[in-house]
Amino acid sequence: MSMANQQTAKDIADNCLFFEETLDKALSFDEVKTQAFIPYEKKLRNQKFSNSPLIVQWLKFTVQNISPKDTIDLNISTVHYITKLYTDKKLIGVSGAYEVNPNDQYDLTSEFDRGRLPIIIPPNSTSTYWFRSEDRQNQLIPPHILPETKVSGMIENLKSGFAARYLFLILAGMTGCFFFIGIYAAYNYYLYQHVSFIWYICYTMLLFFRACTGWISGWACICFRHWYMILFFLFSFI
């Protein structure tokens, strides 16, 4: 399978082997390598819903670089709660919707790199990878594995950003609604002097400031988000 000048990511599911953990105890990577992997057939690629607390699946695939001088530089883009990528010797990448950035920082990785796992293969070499996906009771989307080049990844990012503009417009409208509802609650408190309007003010303003933190980067956002959640849940149950 060639990825040269590729404008879109290619699904390599047909070239993968599959294994799913079914025990209550999580297996180590060394234990997983000794398990019997089976062909990743189409019936195994459906979105799964389970009564078990965890859905842990593994994919095994091999990539060969036949170029005498070029290095393969790909990324795996997929959507799971937590994903990990191993080579034969070690863990080389961690990602996922619920994976927290180290040191609790927002800006340690770029938006493009966040959510992607690297595949880097030197010239004239072959590498085998084990891809681990972990989900909570149900998978976010039907599982897939799509290696992509930097070019195809940036193209997909641009498409996603363009498609999300309507979502951002709705979220901006909701943020404005929270602000004006808070102002209206403050006006009613001024008229009636009833304590219930104080809770409305606090609740809507907390939602407004939380929405605004999406536009704030750096230490201001990091410091703010730790105490707003306590107040948010407090006012939710009062």
The conformation of residue 51, written as its DSSP 8-state character, comes to S
Query: Of 226, 230, 172, 235, nearest to 204 (Cα)?
Result: 235
Q: Which of the two residues, 228 and 196, has the higher pLDDT score?
A: 196
Q: Give the count of alpha carbons within 13 A of 130, CB side only.
A: 21
Is it the case that residue 69 has pLDDT exceeding 60? yes
pLDDT tens-digit series, residues 128-160 = 999 998 888 777 777 777 777 766 666 666 666
pLDDT given for residue 171 in this prediction: 81
- Conformational region of residue 123, where left means phi above 0, alpha means psi within -120 to 50, and beta covers everything else: beta
What is 13-148's CATH number?
A: 2.60.40
Residue type (1 letter), 47: Q
CA of residue 130 relative to chain centroid, distance: 19
**Separation CA 43–CA 13 (nearest Å):** 12
Nearest residue to 10 (alpha-carbon basis) of 143, 146, 142: 146
**Residue 129, pLDDT score:** 92
Q: By CB neighbour count within 10 A (0-12 exposed, 13-18 middle, 19+ buried), where does 58 fall?
A: buried
Region of poorest pLDDT, from 57-66, 141-150, 173-182: 141-150
Which residue did the predictor score with more confidence, 39 or 106? Answer: 39
Range scoring the smallest mean pLDDT among 47-56, 81-90, 224-233 = 224-233
pLDDT higher for 149 or 174? 174
* The predicted structure's pLDDT at residue 216: 47
Whether the predicted model's global pTM rises above the 0.75 cut = no
- Give DSSP secondary structure letters for 70-99: PPEEEEEE---SEEEEE-SSSEEEEE-TTP
Q: Are 74 and 61 in contact (CB under 8 A)?
A: no
The answer to whether 106 touches 5, Cβ cutoff 8 Å, is no
